[in-house]
Structures are given as structure tokens and as C-alpha cells.
């Protein structure tokens, strides 16, 4: 039986070896891994492991293992970046630079866009009427003034920071781009060291592959891939 052994963080060597033990916390194939493999190009076990090893390296940033703290740090960085973009996006509307955003600032900031040509149903660009321009301006400013917490007509830095914190706190992030669910890491931790190595990840990949490969011929058929795409990534595996 072919097994992929991790020799370095980035080098995989194929050799004959006994099947790895299925001990640890994951006695059966992971549904989300089954779906991930099925969404790819198919192929034999070696090809799938090589692709999944590349995914692991991309997610981990080249680290040999990842843990929950790794995902928490990635999540924190993503939220910090979101706050920074939100704050800078609003502060650029502080046209007079006095540290707060008023209607006068927004009138100047949105003047050009409010008077930009409109495209008609026939595809012809036409200049907006004064009423249309005023309506565009009003809607744009209303969206910004939603962050004026005390309603005094001035969006202060404190209000901007509060809005940024609220937005980043309620947003849903996937630090790995949805490839490896952070809340499923423990199921791959075969040795119980609270982290998942590339070798452990590939062991779980092999379990998932063999679950998909019902006839055991070492190649995923279109029918096997189709059935695997129907697996609920969060639910129990269907009975066979």
C-alpha cells in the first residue's frame, strides 16, 4: 500500500509502507475532507495527497503543524485589517481634516459621484437632474451618518472606531479560506498534542479518500465523486 511520508516541511517521498494506524480522535473519515477531495479533480491517492499537502502548506504558511491558536491569530489579524480599512475609508471623507465628518465634508466628497452621468435603459449616458443628484447625495450621506452614534451631525473618531469594532466583531471569517475548519482540528489530532501536523492531515486525507473509493481500485470514478459531493460536511457519514 502506498503511503506518503513527510520528510521535510515541503518534500514528500512515496514508498511502500503499512497502512497507518487509525488511532487518535478520528476513528472514521471526516465528512468535510470527503467533500473537499470530491470537489477537486479526482485522481489516485498519491495525486490527491500531493494536492492536499500543497493546500496544508498554503494554509499553514509553511509551518509543519497548526493548532487552534494559529487560527485565532489569523482571525485576529483579519479583523484588525477589516477595522483598518473601515476606519481609513471613513476618515478620507474628513475633507477639512478637523478629525470629524460633517455634512459639509460629505457634500464635497460625494459631489462628483452624485453628478456623474446615469445610464438609461437604452444604454445611453445622461446627466442627472438636480433632483436626482440631490437624492443620490442624500442616500450616500445617510449611509455614513448611520455611524453618528449620538445623532449630533458629526461623526467623530470615537464613533468611527466603535463602528469598526462592531463590524469586525460580528463578521464571520474563515482564516483558512474555508479549506480547514478550525473547529474540526481536534478530530485530526492523532497523537493528542493539541496540534495537527501535515502527516496527521494527510493520514486523514487517506481515510477520506478510501471512504470515497468504494470499489478500492485506487481511482475515484465520476460516480464515486458524485456520491461524495452529497455528503453533509457537518453531519454524520451516510450508512453504506
154 pLDDT band, cuts 50/70/90, is very high
Average pLDDT over residues 196-217: 93
Q: What are phi and psi for residue 59, nearest 5 degrees? A: -70, -40
- Is pLDDT of 44 > 50? yes
> Who contacts 123 (Cβ-Cβ below 8 Å, separation ≥6)?
none
User: End-to-end alpha-carbon separation of the chain, Å?
Assistant: 24
Q: Which range in 36-40, 178-182, 207-211 is most confidently predicted, on average pLDDT?
A: 207-211
Taking only the tens place, the pLDDT of each residue in 98-118 is 999 999 999 999 999 999 998
pLDDT at res. 157: 95
- Is pLDDT of 132 > 90? yes
- Is pLDDT of 17 > 50? no
- Is pLDDT of 9 > 70? no
Q: Which three cell numbers stand for residue 129?
A: 437632474
155 pLDDT band, cuts 50/70/90, is very high
Helix pair angle (31-38, 222-229), 10° resolution: 130
68 pLDDT band, cuts 50/70/90, is confident
Average pLDDT over residues 15-42: 64
Per-domain residue ranges for the chain?
Answer: 2-70+176-229
Q: Measured between alpha carbons, how far is 4 from 45 in angstroms, rounded to an integer?
A: 9
Q: Where are the alpha helices (DSSP H) in 101-175?
A: 103-114, 130-145, 157-170
- DSSP SS3 for 103: helix
Taking only the tens place, the pLDDT of each residue in 79-95 is 899 999 999 999 999 99
Least confident of 115-129, 176-190, 209-223: 176-190
Q: Where are the alpha helices (DSSP H) in 61-101?
A: 68-91
Kindly list the distances between the CA atom of residue 219 and the CA atoms of 30, 47, 72, 209, 222, in Å, as whole numbers in the listed order: 19, 10, 37, 9, 10
pLDDT at res. 12: 31
Higher pLDDT residue, 182 or 68?
68
Helix, strand, coil distribution of the chain in percent, nearest 5:
50, 10, 40
- DSSP SS3 for 4: strand
Q: What are phi and psi for residue 203, nearest 5 degrees? A: -65, -40
> Who contacts 73 (Cβ-Cβ below 8 Å, separation ≥6)?
none
> Who contacts 179 (Cβ-Cβ below 8 Å, separation ≥6)?
36, 55, 58, 59
pLDDT at res. 174: 57
Amino acid at each position: 500500500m502506498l503511503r506518503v511520508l513527510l520528510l521535510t516541511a515541503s518534500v514528500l517521498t512515496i514508498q511502500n509502507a503499512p497502512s497507518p494506524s487509525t488511532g487518535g480522535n478520528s476513528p472514521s473519515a471526516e465528512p468535510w475532507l470527503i467533500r473537499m477531495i470530491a470537489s477537486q479533480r479526482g485522481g489516485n491517492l498519491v495525486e490527491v495527497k500531493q494536492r492536499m499537502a500543497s493546500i496544508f502548506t498554503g494554509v499553514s504558511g509553511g509551518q509543519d503543524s497548526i493548532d487552534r491558536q494559529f487560527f485565532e491569530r489569523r482571525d485576529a489579524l483579519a479583523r484588525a485589517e477589516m477595522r483598518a480599512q473601515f476606519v481609513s475609508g471613513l476618515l478620507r471623507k474628513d475633507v477639512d481634516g478637523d478629525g470629524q465628518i460633517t455634512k459639509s465634508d460629505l457634500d464635497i466628497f460625494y459631489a462628483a459621484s452624485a453628478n456623474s452621468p446615469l445610464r438609461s435603459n437604452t444604454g445611453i449616458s445622461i446627466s442627472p437632474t438636480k433632483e436626482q443628484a440631490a437624492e443620490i447625495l442624500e442616500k450616500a450621506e445617510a449611509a455614513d451618518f448611520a455611524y453618528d452614534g449620538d445623532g449630533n451631525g458629526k461623526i467623530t473618531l470615537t464613533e468611527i472606531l466603535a463602528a469598526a469594532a462592531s463590524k469586525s466583531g460580528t463578521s464571520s471569517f474563515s482564516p483558512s479560506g474555508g479549506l480547514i475548519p478550525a473547529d474540526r482540528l481536534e478530530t485530526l489530532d492523532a497523537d493528542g498534542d493539541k496540534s495537527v501536523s501535515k502527516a496527521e492531515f494527510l493520514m486523514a486525507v487517506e481515510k477520506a479518500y478510501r471512504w470515497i473509493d468504494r470499489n478500492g481500485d485506487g481511482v475515484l470514478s465520476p460516480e464515486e465523486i458524485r456520491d461524495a459531493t452529497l455528503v453533509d460536511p457537518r453531519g454524520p457519514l451516510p450508512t453504506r
